[in-house]
């Protein structure tokens, strides 16, 4: 995509270390990029050569501070786009856009992606199967739910990500005790009304990661976890995810549901990460949650290994290209970028998978793993991880199965699950 004569100004928010390829691609496309992150993330390996400015805010910075900082930046560089590279910045980015009257996701739409109660209601309204649920607000509603839906159940926060803050409960007494404990917390946003009680469904967990432009899914990839993330978070062990069979019935069904969710949730531009569980009891896919971001835990690298397509870079192209087209249309001029939302096509159609774990060693050595299918080695403090790629799904499954046992002996460290994000 040729660079525009008038470069776009982009503010990126990343409270955690994410999105280096997005930033690099924006710079390659001729944009000016300012990154706002937290002080604790300053020492991370940000792509400084692609940043026009890197600004750190205090670790406990609240939304008004972000808005004020974005307003200050706007005095010398009027932003065209505000992009959240990390889950916890989605709502903040939306509020900045609204304050500065910029295009992009509104806070109302962002709320759907950050509130599991809202997203469950939206999915149900779109006729997508969802595990039965009830907010921990009205005691009569909670009691009726427990009488109607057999235990065990899951208590989960409405706003956190992955398995953070989730607990499994086996009877009504545990639920009432949990509600009492939550309602005694000094932080009002950690009390019971900010939690859901949901049906526990046994089965395999899948995720669909997609790129969206003008409300349409431009690319999607479907993967299956080796063990449910909740089980890994609470029981320890290695995290595993791999591509599912291309053109299989499962892939087709997951893509169909994902398209429904993108439309129902109002995602117009960006990346989506949706999770589903395939019930052992009835074989149906049940929606768990969806985020408007690139999936974490090196999911982007797994998809790139399988498809040749980098989600971060393609997302940047979509955001920049769409905004330039909007500007050209507003000025009644013809865009010279040659941008086409239909251009996102994988360069290969293979299979890939990842094994990842917390490691006992500060800098774990994975050199003993020397299979030619290994295409990526995770380089992160106290983490061990490998990504493999093959044209044969059975080979990917075989390698990940072998590595799972070896990782337990060589690397795996177990820490208590987080109650809330740090």
* Domain shared by 144 and 159, yes or no: yes
* Domain shared by 194 and 208, yes or no: no
CATH of the domain at 38: 3.40.50.20
For residue 196, with 0-12 CB atoms within 10 Å meaning exposed, 13-18 middle and 19 or more buried, which class applies? buried
Residue 2: predicted pLDDT: 46
Q: Decide if 4 is inside a domain.
A: no
* Domain shared by 140 and 86, yes or no: no
* Domain shared by 218 and 355, yes or no: yes
Residue 81: predicted pLDDT: 97
- 3-state class of 253 per DSSP? helix
CATH of the domain at 157: 3.30.1490.20
Q: What tokens appear for 291 in the block?
A: 């985020």
* Domain shared by 51 and 150, yes or no: no
* Domain shared by 235 and 185, yes or no: no
Residue 3: predicted pLDDT: 47
* Domain shared by 41 and 181, yes or no: no
SS3 content of the chain, % helix, strand, coil (to 5): 35, 25, 40
Q: What is the DSSP letter of 380?
A: B
* Domain shared by 252 and 388, yes or no: yes
- Of 173, 199, 225, which residue constitutes the final position of a domain? 199
Residue 328: predicted pLDDT: 81
Q: Decide if 331 is inside a domain.
A: no
Where does 267-380 show beta strands of DSSP type E?
270-279, 285-291, 351-358, 374-377
Residue 116: predicted pLDDT: 95
Which stretches in the chain have pLDDT values below 50? 1-4, 335-336
Residue 237: predicted pLDDT: 75
Q: Decide if 123 is inside a domain.
A: no
Q: Decide if 58 is inside a domain.
A: yes
* Cβ–Cβ under 8 Å, residues 322 and 213: yes
* Domain shared by 249 and 172, yes or no: no
- Of 66, 85, 104, which residue constitutes the final position of a domain? 104
* Domain shared by 261 and 358, yes or no: yes
CATH of the domain at 358: 3.30.470.20
* Domain shared by 82 and 32, yes or no: yes
Residue 108: predicted pLDDT: 96
- Of 104, 119, 150, which residue constitutes the final position of a domain? 104
Provide the domain count of the chain.
3
Edge-to-edge strands of the sheet including 32-38?
53-57, 32-38, 9-14, 81-84
Instruction: Please count the residues of the chain.
Output: 422
- Domain range holding 163? 132-199
Rounded Cα distance, 186 and 251, in Å: 45
Q: Decide if 281 is inside a domain.
A: yes
Q: Decide if 384 is inside a domain.
A: yes
Q: Decide if 124 is inside a domain.
A: no
Q: What is the DSSP letter of 48?
A: G
Q: Decide if 267 is inside a domain.
A: yes
* Domain shared by 31 and 71, yes or no: yes
The position carrying tokens 């892939």 is: 251
Which residues, in sequence order, are CB contacts of 5 under 8 Å at separation 6+?
A: none
């Amino acid at each position: 995509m040729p660079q525009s004569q008038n470069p776009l100004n982009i503010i990126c928010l990343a409270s955690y270390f994410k999105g280096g390829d997005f930033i690099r691609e924006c710079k390659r496309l001729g944009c000016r990029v300012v990154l706002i992150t937290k002080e604790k993330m300053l020492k991370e390996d940000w792509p400084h050569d692609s940043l026009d400015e890197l600004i750190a805010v205090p670790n406990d910075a609240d939304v008004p501070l972000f808005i004020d900082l974005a307003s200050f930046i706007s005095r010398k560089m009027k932003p065209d786009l505000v992009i959240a590279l990390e889950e916890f910045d989605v709502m903040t980015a939306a509020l900045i856009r609204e304050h500065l009257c910029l295009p992009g996701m509104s806070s109302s739409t962002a709320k759907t992606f950050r509130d599991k109660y809202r997203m469950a209601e939206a999915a149900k309204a779109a006729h997508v199967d969802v595990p039965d649920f009830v907010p921990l607000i009205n005691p009569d509603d909670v009691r009726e739910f427990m009488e109607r839906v057999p235990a065990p159940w899951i208590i989960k926060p409405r706003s956190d990500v992955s398995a953070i803050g989730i607990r499994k409960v086996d009877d009504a007494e545990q639920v009432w005790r949990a509600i009492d404990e939550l309602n005694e917390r000094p932080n009002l946003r950690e009390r019971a009304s900010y939690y859901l009680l949901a049906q526990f469904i046994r089965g395999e967990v899948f995720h669909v990661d997609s790129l969206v432009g003008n409300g349409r899914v431009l690319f999607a990839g479907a993967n299956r976890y080796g063990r449910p993330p909740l089980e890994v978070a609470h029981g320890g062990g290695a995290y595993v995810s791999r591509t599912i069979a291309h053109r299989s019935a499962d892939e087709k069904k997951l893509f169909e549901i994902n398209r429904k969710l993108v439309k129902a949730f109002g995602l117009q531009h960006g990346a989506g990460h949706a999770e589903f569980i395939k019930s052992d009891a009835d074989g149906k896919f049940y929606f768990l949650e969806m985020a408007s971001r690139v999936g974490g835990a090196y999911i982007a690298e797994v998809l790139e290994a399988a498809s040749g397509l980098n989600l971060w870079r393609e997302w940047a192209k979509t955001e920049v290209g769409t905004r330039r087209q909007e500007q050209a249309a507003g000025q009644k001029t013809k865009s010279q970028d040659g941008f086409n939302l239909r251009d996102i096509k994988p360069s290969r159609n293979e299979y890939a998978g990842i094994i990842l774990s917390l490691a006992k060693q500060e800098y774990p050595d994975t050199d003993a793993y020397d299979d030619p299918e290994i295409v990526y080695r995770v380089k992160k403090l106290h983490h061990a991880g490998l990504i493999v790629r093959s044209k044969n799904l059975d080979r990917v499954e075989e390698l990940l199965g072998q590595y799972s046992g070896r990782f337990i002996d060589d690397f795996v460290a177990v820490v208590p699950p987080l109650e809330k994000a740090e």
